[in-house]
Amino acid sequence: MSSPDALAQRAGRRGGELVLTVAVLAALLAALIPVVRVVKPGGWLLGSVLLATAVLAAGFIARRFRLPAVAVSLIEAGVWVAFMTVVFLRHTALLGVVPTPETFRAVPPLIDEAIERITFGAAPLDDHISLAFLIVGAMGLLTLIVDHVVVTARMPLLASIGIVAVSLIPAIAVPREVDVVAFVFLAVAILFLIRAETRSRERPVERESERTAGVPATALGIGAIAIIVAVVATPLLPQPAVRAGGALGPGPGIDASLQLGDDLRRPEAVEVLRVRTDAPSAPYLRATTLSRFEGGIWEPDQVRTVPLDSEFGLGRVAVGTGVRVSEYTTSVEVVNLSTVWLPVSFPAVSVAGLDGRWAAVPYNRTVISQSGSTQGQAYDVVANVPRPTLEQIRSYNAGGPELRDETTQLPENTPQIIIDLAAEVTAGATNDYDRLIAMQRWFRGGEFRYSLDAPVEDGFDGSGAEAVAQFLEVREGYCIHFASAFALMARSLHMPTRIVVGYLPGTATTDVIDDQTVYSVSSSLTHAWPEVFFDDVGWVPFEPTAGLGVPTTFTPASTLPGDPDDPSTATPGATPTPTSSSSANPNDSINPRDEALPGTALTGTNPLPTLGVILLILLVLALPFLVREVRRRQLTASGRGGDAAAAWTIVQDAAIDVGISVPASESPRGFAQRLIDQHGVSPENMEMLVAAIERASYAPSGGRDYWLGDAATDAAIAVRAQLITAAPVARRILAVIAPRSLIVRPGSVYAGGAPATR
């Protein structure tokens, strides 16, 4: 027959294991939060939560029956397999639950598709079944491993390191600003996990004076301080120059989701490329193209890739009869850029000098990495640029039989302002080229203003249909808005369009290599521009962004000199140059951050960010006081409910706050006498408190038969006030704004050594 103490101890241990299981679940869910920024919330999120809960519940129940650790892990693995089969692969399973060989054969294609979407997609990715399978399955396996490491192996610190590492994967793959809320949630969950594991351990009941509670309490206090410092310090530190869409590794990336606003508004630009060319002017460099648009965001083209060096790679440029083609070579050195997309001139026909495995995308003549990234690469790009005459381009229609349907699709419920303005602006044109030129001239003609300070609320920083409609109303924005509006307006006129993401031509330096000027391309030159497909010419770029680049024009045949490669006949539409229409210097107005840019207003300093930082600092400074006040009120309420230990703790905390030692080796009566002799505390109040704590500690009933009502708590409050009043002014202030008792517990090594014997 088990004794009452043994039964109570066993019940307490079970309760501790339940709390520990809940702590593991909280930590795993905290690690899942960053994924929401990479993949749109959907079924994968619910599936991950349900699977993690099911695995942990199975493990908890199995341990209640005292099964071996191996059996517990096998049961959890069975729950994982059953869940994944029923949710994702039931059409291949026996009775919808039991996996079959067909079930296992269906797994690799799902994983391959998920990896392809991650590699070629842009954050946030759509909630696709393959991504859900990968994320939910990984969450289940992580849950099984963490549960074993924490509950079975009793190594919560090791599990915490693994959880933190997993939570960092989305931030590394898609670097963005720090998510303070997610960080705090994860940190608190980790601290809760460590504390729960400590409390769930079996150990003999110890007297209050012999407990070592100060050690875990101090650890939690240090952790809390680390969280507060990180929250305050992180916004004040220089932010890393990285963006979504980049590959793993150092350096800025290229955002293929058209969220370029943060790139252009970054306080400090960094050099990403150095370029030289034998072309008449430095070319734009493209990274990828975006054709699919369903009303929300432009999505990067996900098309067939082939090995870069294969015969089906980039290939030759096909043009109509009589269209001139000029060949130019551009040399690029990557200084500080980490992305899977290789910046190349257009239309590229060959790329040489690359290290690693690279693939070509024949559809849009881009190059993508199959292993590694662009960082540290140096390569040469050969481009064959079509250069039709003005008469030729006017005779061609915008369109072609081999185009994908997504290049012409206009979303349902497209705002009417886009359709109406396209018809209005092009009303006098008689061919597709002149219609596009009319739109380009309208955007650059003075009615629109280039601005990085345009309002960005309600998604205006993006490229969705509603954002474009708002842009056309306020007529302020940057390259994303100009390119999106131009592309959608052209589609409303039944022309195939797409958007290109890449870089504007760089700024000329004083360096010259092989008689070629070296251009420096900075991260602030990240750019987006539209292209329209013309039969017998191919994709023709346009530059609608006010104040940037050179508007697309083609030269009449009657004015062409004899030399087809004469710089005066260069076609900006085929090889856009960095020259601004409002500047004689080719490199004066290409920087989107330049305050002298046409249409850019000079504004005063916005005080709101500074005030926000000040308020945040004040709030953080007030946190210790607030936490201490909550704890004091809880102790007071417990004391008035008959808990003599709570009343005694009020006095101990007050002593620690004003710098009085509270050693574990000193009895309550000795501690009380020291406060009376050395610190002038009321003897009557201390005698009442000593009587209460001694009865609670040594009476057979735990002191419940000797409850003193509110008298002990009132005495504790009075003693606390006397201690704080008697302390020096500086110590009194610290006791209020930075109470030591939050992290130093009575009896711990930090609460002071044994007092001298009097």
The pair of structure tokens assigned to 702 is: 């735990």
Please report the pLDDT score of residue 439 as a whole number: 92
Q: Is residue 521 part of a domain?
A: yes
Please tell me whether residues 536 and 640 are part of one structural domain: no
* 77 within domain boundaries: yes
Q: Lowest-confidence range among 36-45, 101-110, 282-291, 599-608?
A: 599-608
DSSP string, 215-271: HHHHHHHHHHHHHHHHHHHGGGSPPP---TT--SSSS----TTS--HHHHT-SS--E
What pLDDT was estimated at residue 57? 92
Domain co-membership, 659 together with 723: yes
Distance CA 147, CA 201 (A): 15
pLDDT at 640 over 50: yes
Same domain, 327 and 475: yes
Per-residue confidence (pLDDT) for residue 587, from 0 to 100: 34
Mark whether 616 and 564 lie in a shared domain: no
Q: Per-residue confidence at 250, pLDDT binned at 50, 70, 90? A: very low
> Do 152 and 171 touch, CB atoms closer than 8 A?
no
Read off the pLDDT of each residue in 528-546 and give the average, rounded to a whole number.
Answer: 89
Asked if residue 613 belongs to a domain, the reply is: yes
pLDDT, position 563:
47
Does position 578 have pLDDT exceeding 70, yes or no? no
Q: Domain total for the chain?
A: 3
CATH number of the domain enclosing 420: 3.10.620.30
Is 81 a residue whose pLDDT tops 50? yes
* Rounded-to-integer distance, Cα 79 and Cα 54, Å: 7
pLDDT greater at residue 513 or residue 183: 513
306 and 167 share one domain: no
Asked whether residue 593 is assigned to any structural domain, the reply reads no
pLDDT of residue 338: 80
pLDDT value at position 315? 80
Mean pLDDT on 498-518: 89
Looking at the structure, do residues 301 and 157 belong to the same domain, yes or no? no
Assess whether 12 and 133 both reside in one domain.
yes
pLDDT confidence of residue 749 = 63
Confidence at residue 429, expressed as pLDDT on a 0 to 100 scale: 87
Same domain? 420 vs 544: yes
**Does the residue 277 lie in any domain?**
yes
Is the pLDDT score of 53 beyond 90?
Answer: yes
Cβ–Cβ under 8 Å, residues 28 and 208: no
What does the pLDDT read at residue 242? 35
Q: Are residues 268 and 410 in the same domain?
A: yes
| Residue 604 maps to a domain | no
| Domain membership flag for residue 110 | yes
Domain final residue, candidates 205, 236, 251: 205
Q: Give buried/exposed letters for 565-597 (b at 16+ CB in 10 A, else e).
A: eeeebbbbbbbbbbbbeebeebbbbbbbbbeeb
Q: What pLDDT score does 380 carry?
A: 92
Percent above pLDDT 90 for the chain: 13
For residue 359, list its beta bridge partners.
307, 368
pLDDT digits (tens, 9 = 90+) for 179-219: 677 777 888 888 888 878 777 764 444 434 344 444 455 44
Q: Give the pLDDT score at 531.
A: 92
Same domain, yes or no: 406 and 529: yes
Range(s) of the domain holding residue 646 = 609-751
pLDDT-wise least confident of 102-116, 173-187, 558-572, 591-605: 591-605
| Confidence band, pLDDT 50/70/90 cuts, at residue 585 | very low
Are residues 184 and 333 both part of a single domain? no
pLDDT tens-digit map of 661-686: 888 888 888 888 998 988 888 888 88
Cα distances from 250 to residues 119, 176, 504, 580, in angstroms, run 18, 13, 22, 32
Average pLDDT over residues 605-611: 51
Domain identity same for 527 and 627: no
Low-confidence winner among 32-46, 382-396, 450-464, 576-590 (lowest mean pLDDT): 576-590
pLDDT at 10: 55
Helix (H) or strand (E) segment spanning residue 366: strand 366-369
**Residue that wins the pLDDT comparison between 42 and 234:** 42
Determine if the pTM surpasses 0.75: no
Which H or E element spans position 423? helix 416-425
Domain boundary among 205, 224, 245: 205
Split at pLDDT 50, 70, 90, the class of 78 is very high
Report the C-alpha gap between 588 and 549 in whole angstroms.
11
DSSP state of 630: H
The last residue of a domain, from among 141, 170, 205: 205
Least confident of 5-14, 160-169, 443-452: 5-14
* Alpha-carbon span 192 to 19, nearest angstrom: 10
Q: What is the DSSP string of 679-724?
A: H---HHHHHHHHHHHHHHHHSTTTTGGG--TTHHHHHHHHHHHHHH
Region 263-280: mean pLDDT is 74
Q: What confidence tens digit (pLDDT) does each residue in 367-400 have?
A: 888 777 788 889 999 999 999 999 999 998 888 7
The whole-angstrom separation of Cα 315 and Cα 536 is 16
Question: Lowest-pLDDT range, 22-26, 235-239, 601-605, 639-643?
Answer: 601-605
Note whether residue 227 is domain-resident: no
Burial label, 514 (beta-carbon count in 10 A; 0-12, 13-18, 19+): exposed
712-729 confidence digits (pLDDT tens): 888 889 998 888 888 888
